[in-house]
Amino acid sequence: MKYKRILLKLSGEALEGSKDYGIDPVRLQHYAEDVKQVVDLGVQVAIVIGGGNFFRGVDAEASGIDRVQGDYMGMLATVINGMALQSAMERLGLYTRLQSGIKMEQVCEPFIKRRAVRHLEKGRVVIFGAGIGSPYFTTDSAASLRAIEIGADVVLKGTRVDGIYTSDPEKNPSAERYTKISFTEVYQKGLNVMDMTAITLCQENNLPIIVFDMNKRGNLLKVLSGESVGTLVTA
């Protein structure tokens, strides 16, 4: 496998699948199966999961909820998704741990870097919930930060688009996919990959990002096998 330890970022919105809200069990199962495929091949997998299928701080603010309060609500939503994913993976026989940036002892461990690394070394999938644990951040930034902390080889951003395009492929049919692009080009061209905090963290710590379509079954394995799936962002 091309990478030994990965940080997979899954958006909460993607978990909605064909539903308008919440968690689609079909999508959940698919993600768990795809993760199992690579764990079975010896890849150490850590996951940061979003919460946009339930709640986002910015949207809450628009409806009159205090922003900080809304962000904490969003973080709690990511823990709900993490618990669902944990359960789906355990059903397939995987060993897992959920660690949260906000203490919730009855449902998960607190985030402890050394402990997370130990779990990974033992072949357990570690899910990081509650993002960074602070408001005004996103789970993309949490993905970059946790990846750096645990010494991951790459951040794999699983989305519903199969990479980074010259313009939005859902709006512009002539948009072309980059197979590889530099961090600097991402800034210069104003491409929408991850938020700036997330990208900057990766750039400063020389951590590559691969943006790929996680909704296509088996794609995670393809990325790890070194197939040119998605877009690679490097220095």
Q: Which ranges of the chain would DSSP assign to H, the alpha helix? A: 12-15, 25-39, 57-62, 67-91, 113-121, 139-150, 183-188, 196-204, 219-224
Residue nearest to ligand UDP (CB): 50
d(CA 175, CA 95): 41
Instruction: Give the pairing type, strands 231-234 and 209-213.
Output: antiparallel
**Site membership for ligand UDP, residue 109 (CB under 6 A):** no
Q: Which of 3, 8, 11, 119 binds ligand UDP (CB under 6 A)?
A: 11
Nearer to ligand UDP, 24 or 180 (CB): 24
Q: What are phi and psi of 170, to 5 degrees?
A: -80, -20
Determine, following the binding rule CB under 6 A, whether residue 47 of this chain makes contact with ligand UDP.
Answer: no
- Of 25, 87, 81, nearest to 52 by C-alpha is 81
Decide if residue 57 touches ligand UDP (CB under 6 A).
Answer: yes
When the beta carbons of 134 and 215 are compared against ligand UDP, the nearer one is 134
If the CB atoms of residues 34 and 71 are measured against ligand UDP, the closer one turns out to be 71
Smallest distance, Å, CB 98 to ligand UDP? 15
Provide the minimum distance between the beta carbon of 1 and ligand UDP in the complex, in angstroms, as a whole number.
Answer: 25
Q: Are 5 and 13 in contact (CB under 8 A)?
A: no
Closest CA to 7 of 144, 133, 196, 201: 144
| The only residue of 22, 110, 123, 135 in contact with ligand UDP, by rule CB under 6 A | 135
Q: Residue from 5, 13, 33, 148 that binds ligand UDP (CB under 6 A)?
A: 13
Question: Does residue 27 belong to the site contacting ligand UDP (CB under 6 A)?
Answer: no
Distance of closest approach, residue 91 Cβ to ligand UDP, in angstroms = 23
Calculate Rg over the CA atoms of the chain. Answer: 17
| Residues 139 to 168 in contact with ligand UDP, rule: CB under 6 A | 139, 142
Q: Distances from the Cα of 38 to the Cαs of 3, 110, 132, 170, 228, in angstroms?
A: 10, 26, 26, 29, 17
Of the two residues 40 and 191, which places its CB atom closer to ligand UDP in the complex? 191
Interface residue list for ligand UDP (CB under 6 A):
11-13, 50-52, 56-57, 70-71, 74-75, 77-78, 131-132, 134-135, 137-139, 142
